[in-house]
Amino acid sequence: MRVWFLSAGLALMCMAQNAAAGTVLIVGDSISAAFGLDTRLGWVSLLEQRLKSEGFADKVVNASISGDTSAGGQARLPALLAEHKPELVILELGGNDGLRGQLPAQLQQNLASMIDSSRASGAKVLLLGMQLPPNYGVRYTKAFAEVYSNLAEEKKIPLVPFFLEGVGGNPDLMQADGIHPAAVAQGKLLENVWPTLKPLL
């Protein structure tokens, strides 16, 4: 009888763990795709390790593509939501829009659509903000950065104001192209995200 109760208890514990497990979908560009690096060194892989070490059973799906824009992410998102049914969607897009000089208003529209689609599917949303180098001009860089804060306020969603905080502009933490974070910076990227991400799990 004791063996039966023990087995039943273990089964219930496993069921509870499985019920608590969710899927975290990351839709991003080269920064989350670990461009130029072994993907096992990227911040997303470090996130998977952190989740396991802290006892979370959540599955991470990295749907990031190098070179992707907010328009590309918007086009890909419906199929990703249907396939993975995530509980949390992390949006890390916009850098390529800015580097191509695209209108901040269009970026905001695309990201807003992605936020609405994610929520309609039942997922929470975490937005990772980006900023541009000063050589793009004060007016443009300001308008670009404000896209993320405007969306966070309008949609009432959590925001990491600048995903590359403490990394961008530091040559010791960037790859030779000056655009993509080096392997040594990936832990810092995770630390930038983790305090805002953890309460959403």
Q: Please write the tens of the pLDDT for every residue from 82-112.
A: 999 999 999 999 999 999 999 999 999 999 9
User: 54 lies in a domain?
Assistant: yes
The structure's pTM equals 0.90
User: 92 lies in a domain?
Assistant: yes
Return the active site residues: 30, 177, 180
Please report where in the chains the tokens 């925001």 appear, as a residue: 159
Task: For residue range 125-173, list pLDDT tens digits in order.
Answer: 999 999 999 999 999 999 999 999 999 999 999 999 999 999 999 999 9
Whole-number Å distance between alpha carbons of 148 and 150: 5
Task: Tell me which residue range forms the domain holding 101.
Answer: 22-200
CATH number for the domain that contains residue 152? 3.40.50.1110
Whole-number Å distance between alpha carbons of 68 and 51: 26
Domain count of the fold of the chain = 1
User: 12 lies in a domain?
Assistant: no
User: 5 lies in a domain?
Assistant: no
User: 61 lies in a domain?
Assistant: yes
User: 53 lies in a domain?
Assistant: yes
Please say whether the beta carbons of 169 and 131 come within 8 A.
Answer: no
SS3 124: strand
